[in-house]
């Protein structure tokens, strides 16, 4: 649209609605893109250096996860790729604030934000002699989180539980065949119990009569015991008296024998009687000794000259 006057020229440009919609779409796309990356931790206004960390496993680490030092975010994970030249190990590119100086002894540990939080990279800056430049590789490490520690602790426990369950299954398999026998035993026991119950019910009156008779017998025995106790007392007294009489007679006989023995020993000691003379007089010993000597001489002479004592003649002839 064009307006012209003598003193002033005004040019009015009319913008179509399609252009306005397209421009608004581009602006919204740019805002969404930068806002999304800003929410992911990308700071477009602070300069950063890029470093590379090599890991065997990431355990859930993704792009835009934070990089921290002592709990403070100083960067983010920029890119993750696989390097076939390093046995398909994972190359993680991280953006670090330029104000942080890293050296060759710095270590990038793979850890977690809390117990159930996302993964992050924790930097440990140690003393070194050489400062890392942009694009250098940082040493890698791994810190066990709570879940990893629980997994390590639970693994032996699970192994033990598996072994226990195996033993239990073995025992169940061994006793599975005995279940039929146990069931038969229980059925037989139940039948025997029922039979005993039936017998008890059928003979209830007889059992009651037997129990009454047993009670009567017990009462009779108690009364008999009361009557027997005085009799037993008298018998014990009589036995004691009899034993006393027998003991007195035996003692009297023993005393008499001892008296006679004393008399005999007294007579022997006083050299009276044959026994005393035999013990204290040696004439009997001497006579016996002489007799034995004479008998010995006679036997010697008889052995040397038997004809002197024995005469034998067939015709009645006499020897001189």
Q: Is residue 136 part of a domain?
A: yes
Backbone angles phi, psi at 243, to 5 degrees: -65, -35
Q: Is residue 27 part of a domain?
A: no
Residue 58: name the closest of 96, 12, 32, 89 by CA.
89
Q: CA 131 to CA 60: how far, in whole Å?
A: 30
Q: What is the pLDDT of residue 225?
A: 73
Strand blocks (E) in 33-168: 48-55, 66-69, 72-83, 89-97, 107-112, 119-124, 137-142
Q: What is the pLDDT of residue 54?
A: 92
Look up residue 7 and give its two tokens. Answer: 């003193």
Q: Is residue 33 part of a domain?
A: no
Q: What is the pLDDT of residue 3?
A: 47
Q: CA 275 to CA 278: how far, in whole Å?
A: 5
- The helix or strand, by DSSP H or E, that contains position 9, with its residue range, turns out to be strand 9-11
- The helix or strand, by DSSP H or E, that contains position 32, with its residue range, turns out to be helix 17-39
CB 76 within 8 A of CB 41: yes
Q: Is residue 290 part of a domain?
A: no
Q: Could you give the angle at the alpha carbon of 286 between the alpha carbons of 285 and 287, nearest 5°? A: 95
* pTM for the full predicted model: 0.38
Q: Is residue 170 part of a domain?
A: no
Count of the separate structural domains present in the chain? 1
Q: Is residue 141 part of a domain?
A: yes
CB 88 within 8 A of CB 82: yes
pLDDT in tens, the chain (320 residues): 444 444 544 555 567 778 878 888 888 888 887 676 666 555 555 567 889 999 988 888 888 888 989 888 888 888 899 988 888 888 999 988 888 888 888 999 988 887 677 888 989 888 888 888 888 889 988 887 666 666 667 777 777 888 888 788 777 776 666 667 777 788 888 888 877 777 777 777 777 788 888 888 887 777 777 777 777 777 777 677 766 666 677 778 888 888 888 877 777 777 666 666 666 667 767 777 788 888 888 888 878 877 776 665 555 555 54
For residue 100, the enclosing domain spans 46-150
Q: Is residue 190 part of a domain?
A: no
Q: What is the pLDDT of residue 2?
A: 44
Q: What is the pLDDT of residue 242?
A: 64
């Amino acid at each position: 649209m064009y307006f012209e006057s003598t003193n002033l020229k005004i040019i009015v440009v009319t913008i179509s609605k399609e252009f306005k919609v397209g421009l608004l779409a581009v602006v919204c796309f740019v805002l969404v893109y930068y806002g999304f990356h800003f929410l992911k931790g990308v700071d477009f206004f602070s300069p950063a250096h890029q470093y590379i960390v090599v890991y065997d496993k990431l355990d859930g680490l993704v792009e835009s996860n934070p990089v921290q030092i002592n709990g403070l975010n100083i960067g983010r994970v920029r890119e993750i790729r696989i390097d076939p030249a390093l046995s398909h190990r994972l190359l993680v590119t991280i953006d670090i604030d330029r104000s942080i100086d890293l050296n060759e002894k710095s270590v990038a540990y793979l850890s977690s934000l809390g117990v159930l939080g996302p993964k992050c990279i924790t930097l440990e800056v140690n003393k070194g002699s050489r400062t890392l430049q942009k694009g250098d590789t940082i040493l890698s490490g791994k810190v066990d989180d709570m879940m990893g520690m629980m997994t390590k602790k639970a693994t032996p426990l699970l192994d033990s539980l598996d072994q226990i369950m195996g033993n239990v299954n073995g025992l169940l398999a061994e006793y599975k065949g005995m279940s039929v026998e146990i069931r038969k035993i229980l059925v037989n026991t139940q039948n025997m119990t029922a039979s005993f119950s039936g017998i008890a019910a059928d003979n209830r009156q007889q059992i009651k009569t037997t129990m009454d008779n047993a009670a009567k017998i017990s009462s009779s025995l108690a009364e008999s015991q009361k009557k027997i106790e005085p009799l037993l007392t008298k018998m014990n007294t009589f036995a004691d008296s009899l034993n006393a009489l027998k003991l007195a007679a035996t003692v009297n006989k023993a005393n008499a024998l001892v008296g006679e023995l004393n008399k005999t020993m007294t007579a022997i000691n006083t050299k009276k009687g044959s026994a005393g003379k035999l013990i204290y007089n040696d004439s009997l010993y001497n006579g016996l000794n002489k007799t034995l000597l004479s008998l010995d001489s006679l036997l010697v002479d008889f052995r040397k000259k038997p004809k002197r004592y024995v005469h034998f003649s067939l015709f009645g002839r006499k020897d001189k």
